């Protein structure tokens, strides 16, 4: 009985240490590896240019004839975050098709001009039927970039919308999640 009481402090220290290690590991996996979508401020500086949207459209027209209802899914081949968004991207693509939109998959490493407009991947660019920019930014924020933290699901119905007046789209600069910065 006496031996048992002497071993209990070590057991408490062991259990507390184990919990501390688990908490540090979870923090490292879920928060410490998260980055800002526009961490360098490059996109924020770029959108101050008056012709930003028209220049972006000109670059994207090199990859499709028409921007009406176009949704561009932009990835990098070696981005560690691609696997986290695969399911979400597939769901978004299905919803875009259901809303009569057109999906285009682009690898930013093969289209260097897009690196001026996209600071990190995975990213998405959405246009409505009048070729007005609806959204430019990440799919979601947080560690897993899934539908619960999505920015785009609520915007997908706008792919098929026709607005009579030109509206400025949402360029999302303030998202923190699993993103891979684009080399510039």
What dihedral angle (degrees, nearest 10) is formed by the CA atoms of 160, 165, 168, 170? -30
Answer whether residue 138 shows pLDDT above 90.
yes
Residues 65, 5 share a domain: no
Are 92 and 159 in contact by the 8 Å Cβ rule? The answer is no
Residues 151, 170 share a domain: yes
Residues 20, 101 share a domain: no
Give the least confident one: 21-30, 97-106, 120-129: 21-30
Residues 65, 156 share a domain: yes
Residues 96, 22 share a domain: no
Which spans in 28-178 are helix H?
Answer: 42-46, 52-60, 82-98
How far is C-alpha 25 from the geometric centre of its chain's CA atoms?
Answer: 24
Residues 109, 24 share a domain: no
How far is C-alpha 111 from the geometric centre of its chain's CA atoms?
Answer: 18
Instruction: Give the pLDDT confidence of 13-62 residue by residue, as tens digits.
Output: 888 888 888 887 776 666 657 899 998 898 999 998 889 999 999 999 99
Residues 97, 23 share a domain: no
Residues 24, 42 share a domain: no
Determine the pLDDT at residue 29: 65
Instruction: Please count the structural domains in the chain.
Output: 2
Residues 41, 2 share a domain: no
- The pTM is what? 0.82
Domain with 4 in it: 1-32
Question: Which CATH number does the domain housing residue 115 bear?
Answer: 3.40.30.10
Establish how many alpha carbons lie within 13 A of residue 69's alpha carbon, considering only the half-sphere containing its beta carbon.
14
- In angstroms, the CA 135 to CA 114 distance is 15
Instruction: Give the pLDDT confidence of 142-175 residue by residue, as tens digits.
Output: 876 667 778 999 999 999 887 655 567 899 998 9
Answer whether residue 77 shows pLDDT above 70.
yes
């Amino acid at each position: 009985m006496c031996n048992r009481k002497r071993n209990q402090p070590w057991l408490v220290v062991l259990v507390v240490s184990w919990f501390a290690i688990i908490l540090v590991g979870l923090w490292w996996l879920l928060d410490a590896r998260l980055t800002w979508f526009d961490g360098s401020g490059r996109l924020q500086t770029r959108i101050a240019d008056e012709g930003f949207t028209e220049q972006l459209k000109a670059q994207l027209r090199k990859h499709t004839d028409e921007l009406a209802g176009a949704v561009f899914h932009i990835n990098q081949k070696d981005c560690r975050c691609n696997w986290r968004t695969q399911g979400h991207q597939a769901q978004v693509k299905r919803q875009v098709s259901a809303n009569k939109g057109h999906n285009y998959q682009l690898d930013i490493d093969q289209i260097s001009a897009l690196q001026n407009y996209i600071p990190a991947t995975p990213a998405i660019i959405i246009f409505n039927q009048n070729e007005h920019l609806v959204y430019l930014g990440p799919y979601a924020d947080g560690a897993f970039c899934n539908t619960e933290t999505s920015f785009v699901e609520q915007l997908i119905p706008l792919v098929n919308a026709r607005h009579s007046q030109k509206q400025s789209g949402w360029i999302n600069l303030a998202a923190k999640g699993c993103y891979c910065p684009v080399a510039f």
